Structure 1
Amino acid sequence: MLAIRITRSVLAAALVAAASFAAAADPSPPIEKEMTPEQFKAAGLDLLSPEQLANLNAWLNRKITTETKKAATLAEDKVKTENRGYFNFGSSEPIVSKLVGEFKGFRQGRLYVLENGQEWSQIDQATLAGVRLTNPQVKIEPGMIGNAWYLSIEGYNTRAKVTRSK
């Protein structure tokens, strides 16, 4: 299921990117070909000189290209943000958030739910006994090798190896 979600997200980003490149490479048809003669006349475009109409078409093509590139960038950023922590996908910047509810120390198999909606499971045997905190600030950082991520609690040096489950 995780692989399907990531595959769909990557596919969506690829389609948006492909659309932006297609828009940049293949300008839109002139506005006079996109509108019916009645629409063209009702908009007053039939009163434009050929030079004015050419300028309008050039402006529309630039606008479409610019907006498509913006949409592609936003879609790519969204995919990267939503999929951080899954495999090596997305940004390698630390994730900073707060845990939802009470933190009762580290324990292998424990689930940590973040305010941003992400869920992480501890996969190592790190411990942080005797610590009880409510909604503590956390940082989840990628390891140097492979797809390892480490969760730390603000104010403590112990880190737990975690894997993203949601």
Structure 2
Amino acid sequence: MRRPTHLRLLAACAAVAFACSAFAQQPPIERQMSPEQFKAAGLDKLTPGELVQLNAWLNRTVEEETAKAASEAKRKVVNENRGFITFGSNEPIVGRIAGEFRGFGKGRSYTLENGQVWEQVDEARLAGVRKSNPAVRITPSVMGNVWYLAVEGSNTHAKVRRTK
């Protein structure tokens, strides 16, 4: 499951980089439109200086919008893949378990309401607990791609890895 996620991440980053480079080479508007379109839009009435200003404004706007889109795409890729890949963020993933939580046990899976699935990989135990849709915090360790799940109202945490 991890390998396709890495490939999707690389593909998304490559697509954003390609889009940015394509927009950086934006031709002037008079070359993007046919002469008929240029005249119909009334752009033939602009002075050469006004046309330069219009092209500069269009290029700035395209650059700004491209930067916003690239930033949003990166944020989305990072958020969707946190847990599979370490991005250097020490921010926890906060959410709720979808359904009932029945304690910790090695090999158990915990599905969050956001669709993420985490599997417990250590021997931490928390028996006799039953909670419906409890709040959870999944915190990355200081080093490596190791995550710990804590359930609201409990001091016990379990080492987990994201499976979906």
Same structural fold, with TM-score higher than 0.5 when normalized by the shorter chain: yes
Structure 1 residue 22 displacement after superposition: 5.6
For the 8 Å contact 1:84–1:91, the answer to whether it is kept is no
1:37 is the counterpart of 2:48: no
Aligned-partner residue type, residue 78 of structure 2: K
Alignment of 1:15-26 (within 5 A): 15-20=15-20, 23-24=23-24, 26=25
Matches of 2:97 and 2:82, distance apart in 1 = 17
Structure 1 residue 5 displacement after superposition: 2.4
Q: Which secondary structure state, in structure 2, belongs to the residue aligned with residue 120 of structure 1?
A: strand
Structure 1 residue 70 displacement after superposition: 0.6
Aligned-partner residue type, residue 95 of structure 2: S
Is 54-63 or 86-95 further displaced after alignment?
Answer: 86-95
1:47 corresponds to which of 35, 38, 45: 45
2:99 corresponds to which of 98, 101, 111: 101
Calculate percent identity across the aligned residue pairs: 57
Matches of 1:9 and 1:90, distance apart in 2 = 15
Q: Which secondary structure state, in structure 1, belongs to the residue aligned with residue 75 of structure 2?
A: helix
For the 8 Å contact 1:97–1:137, the answer to whether it is kept is yes
Structure 1 residue 113 displacement after superposition: 0.3
Alignment of 1:85-124 (within 5 A): 85-89=83-87, 91-124=89-122
For the 8 Å contact 2:97–2:112, the answer to whether it is kept is yes
Aligned-partner residue type, residue 91 of structure 2: E
For the 8 Å contact 1:149–1:163, the answer to whether it is kept is yes
Across the aligned residues of Structure 1 and Structure 2, the Cα RMSD in angstroms comes to 1.5
TM-score (norm 2): 0.93
Structure 1 residue 114 displacement after superposition: 0.3
Q: Structure 1 unaligned segments of length 5 or more: list them.
A: none
For the 8 Å contact 2:96–2:133, the answer to whether it is kept is yes
Q: Which secondary structure state, in structure 1, belongs to the residue aligned with residue 158 of structure 2?
A: strand
For the 8 Å contact 2:92–2:137, the answer to whether it is kept is yes
